[in-house]
Structures are given as structure tokens and as C-alpha cells.
Amino acid sequence: MPTIVCFGDSNTWGSVPNKLRRYNISERWPALLRAALPHDFEVIEEGQPGRTTVHDDPFEGEKNGLRYLKPCLESHVPDLVLIMLGTNDLKHRFGLSAYDIAQGAAKLAQEVLVFNSMAKKSPPKVLLIAPPPVYEVGFFADMFEDAALKSQQLAKHYAQFSKALGCSFFDAGSVVSSCKREGIHWPVEQHKLLANALTPIVENMFSQ
């Protein structure tokens, strides 16, 4: 049974734009991906609101993705890890460039690619996913000041780092659009679009 971990932030967790709630299990993209894959695939949701790639958030507590990654890998021992982080790194408080953010995501991918477990003969595969662009609107506008332009540059850098690492890459912004009224999270139909786009990619990674 192939095990897939979806390692992400609030858009993997399923935050609803402008609502203090989460999409249900039939609406979130990891669950939709699981439903579309063959029955013997296991898809594990590992989304955390506010999670960054490798940075400590001074205000929101334990959000550093790198610090949680190895325990996550040791717990689930996956065959494939889908990494989609970087949106929270766009927050003005971090002062990061698009290149810096991509480098943080690449660090996570690198950690997965060298992970060893007695339970597996080889390290997990990685699909590094660039998050879609954000908008500087609504409640999050001040928090994400200067983020819109940088977010449009992420896919280019993620692709370059993926090539250097020899891992697979996907640009979520090629199919997903963030909510134009709220700026950061996705309307429900966008989860289905991402799951539909990822399904053949994931299947192909296991057929090689």
C-alpha cells in the first residue's frame, strides 16, 4: 500500500475563506486526491494553519515546518511526500524574497530525500508544489503586505530548486486561484481542481 503524506499549511488543512472553520473531509484536496487514486493508496493529511517552511514565527507559536518534518516522516514512513508550503513565509514580518522562500521549501524536500527508515528500502519520493499567488486584500492585507508580487515569482524558483534536487515539481497556481476577496485561502472548488491535477501526476510517479 503506497503511503502519501500531504505536508502543508492552512490550504492543506482546509481553511475556508472569511470563515472560522474548516472544509469537511469530502471537500479538502488531500481527501479528494485519496478518493481519485486506486483503493490501495493511503493519503495522510498533514496540514497546519500558519506553518512556514523553515522559519520560527515570533507571534503564532510552533509553526516551523522543518522542525516537525522528521517526526512526521518517522511516524508515517511515507513513500511519497507532497510539500506545499511557502504562503506563510510571504508574511511581511519575515522579510523574505521569493528565492528565500523557495530555498526553504527546497530544504524540506532535501530532508525528505535523505530520510532513512528501517521499514523502507529507499527514501520517499517528493513532489514539491509551489503555492498559488495571493492577493493583498481584506483581513490579511496588512499581514501580507508586499506579498502579491513575490507570490507570483515562487513557481519559477520552486521549479529551479526541484530540478537541482532531482525531485518532481508542480505549480499549483496553474490550476488554483486564491479567494479574490480574502486573498490567502481557496474557494471550495479550487480543492477539487488541485486534486484532479495531482491525481495523474501521483499515479505516474508510482508507475515509473
Q: How far apart are CA 34 and CA 40, in angstroms?
A: 10
Domain that holds residue 87: 3-207
Number of domains in the chain: 1
Instruction: Kindly report the CATH number assigned to the domain that includes residue 82.
Output: 3.40.50.1110
Q: How far apart are CA 79 and CA 145, in angstroms?
A: 37
pLDDT tens digit string along 84-136? Answer: 999 999 999 999 999 999 999 999 999 999 999 988 889 999 999 999 999 99
- Res 70 pLDDT > 90: yes
pLDDT (0 to 100) of residue 1:
87
- Res 208 pLDDT > 90: no
pTM above 0.85, yes or no: yes
Question: What DSSP assignment string belongs to 121-160?
Answer: SSPPEEEEEEPPP----GGGTTTTTTHHHHHHHHHHHHHH
pLDDT (0 to 100) of residue 178:
98
pLDDT (0 to 100) of residue 169:
98
Averaged confidence pLDDT in the chain: 97
